[in-house]
Amino acid sequence: MTPRPLAVVTGASTGIGYELAKYCADDGYDVIICANEPEIKDAAADLGRETVDAEILPIQADLGTKEGIETLWRALDARPIDALLANAGRGLGEAFLDQDFERAKDVLDVNVTGTISLIHKVGRQMRERGEGRILITGSVAGHMPGSFQAVYNGTKAFLDSFSYALRNELKDSGVTVTCLMPGPTDTEFFERAEMERTPVGQDDDKADPASVARKGYEAMKKGEAGVVTGFMNKVQTLFADLLPDTTVAQMHRRLAEPGRE
Ligand SMILES: NC(=O)c1ccc[n+]([C@@H]2O[C@H](COP(=O)([O-])OP(=O)(O)OC[C@H]3O[C@@H](n4cnc5c(N)ncnc54)[C@H](OP(=O)(O)O)[C@@H]3O)[C@@H](O)[C@H]2O)c1
């Protein structure tokens, strides 16, 4: 019997990552899911109940650390990886100078260093095999200087850019790289980033994580370059790319400043 292909999904305990893992499992992959907290095991149990046949293996590791990346890499045990969905990430609200610097650094460590460190290892393996799909969860935030979320938006600008660059480098290799760029999505993200008291945090009209994940998953399967999810987010990124950065930074203040009505 041919073994099932293997997908690795990071940040899969909740939100967009959980839904991405579900699409992978429903589509015939065995799935290794990873997150930092013990709840990743509950997520694996839930996914196991919701999907048929797929083997779901949870790995608890802090992907913002070198040790955490090594833990996940060792758990992969040199198995060929067919799809890597590098989705783990976190935000942090407040003005930069009012943030605890260690927490701001955590955002960089998880979103940027951890993400590209894992992609470096898995990408080399995929290139050697001449096949593989990589999905990177960037954000529309990467198109905007993010007043009151400055470090986070900077990390997403990095990932959006990195994703397109890596894709180009790998263009004749059989490995595709796709960037998923969601707008505000109804997950635990805003609570974890302590952004509940901001206009974007209080917005009741956020996107459904399952629908965001489906668009990203389908784009990855087709080997597309990138997808901005949702019509209004497409319009917003178009304007953000055209307007002066000073204007966009002021617009972002209206979304993310704590206590603003
Ligand atoms: N929600 C939005 O509006 C939005 C918009 C654009 C892009 N995104 C991006 O979408 C991705 C998923 O976020 P989400 O909205 O689904 O939020 P979420 O529900 O908070 O999920 C974040 C996931 O990342 C994991 N994670 C965070 N730090 C980690 C670490 N150090 N090591 C390993 N795993 C870690 C979390 O696991 P633990 O709980 O175990 O830490 C969780 O599984 C993120 O990259 C985020 O930046 C979100």
CATH number at residue 160: 3.40.50.720
C-alpha of residue 7 to centroid of ligand 1, in Å? 18
φ, ψ dihedrals at 83, nearest 5°: -145, 130
- The count of other CB atoms within 10 Å of the CB of residue 251 is 17
Q: Report the sign of the C-alpha dihedral through residues 257, 155, 79, 24, in that order.
A: positive
Residues written for the chain: 261
pLDDT tens, 212-225?
999 999 999 999 99
Confidence of residue 1 (pLDDT cuts 50, 70, 90): low
Query: Does residue 182 belong to any structural domain of this protein?
Result: yes
Instruction: Pick the atom of ligand 1 nearest to 39's CA.
Output: 40
pTM for the whole thing?
Answer: 0.97
What's the gap in Å between 61 CA and the centre of ligand 1? 14
**Would you say residue 31 lies in a domain?**
yes
143-192 pLDDT, tens digit each: 999 999 999 999 999 999 999 999 999 999 999 999 999 999 999 999 99
Distance CA 28, CA 55 (A): 10
Residue 56 in any domain: the answer is yes
- Say if 193 falls within a structural domain: yes
Q: How far is the CA of 2 from the centre of ligand 1 (A)?
A: 33
> Within a domain: residue 216?
yes
In a domain, 92, yes or no: yes
Tally of domains within the chain = 1
52 pLDDT above the threshold of 90: no
pLDDT at 261 over 80: no
- Find the angle CA(9)-CA(10)-CA(12) to the nearest 5 degrees: 80
- State the greatest distance between any 2 C-alpha atoms of the chain, in Å, as a whole number: 59
For residue 259, name the pLDDT band (cuts at 50, 70, 90): confident
Task: Identify the domain containing residue 135 by its residue range.
Answer: 6-256
Strands 83-86 and 56-60: unpaired
Higher pLDDT, 225 or 259: 225
Do residues 195 and 202 lie in contact, with contact meaning Cβ atoms separated by under 8 Å? no
Q: Is there a domain that residue 1 lies in?
A: no
Distances (CA, A) of 231 to 38, 178, 239, 253: 36, 19, 13, 22
Residue-wise pLDDT for 98-111, tens only, equals 999 999 999 999 99
In a domain, 261, yes or no: no
From 32, 87, 163, 217, the mutation candidate for ligand 1 (largest count of ligand atoms within 8 A of CB) is 87
Ligand 1: centre distance to CA 188 (Å): 8
User: What lines the ligand 1 site, CB under 6 Å?
Assistant: 11-17, 35-37, 40, 62-64, 87-90, 110, 137, 139, 182, 184-185, 187-189, 192, 209
The DSSP element (H or E) to which 220 belongs, if any, is: helix 209-222
Tell me how far apart the alpha carbons of residues 18 and 228 are, in angstroms, rounded to a whole number: 19
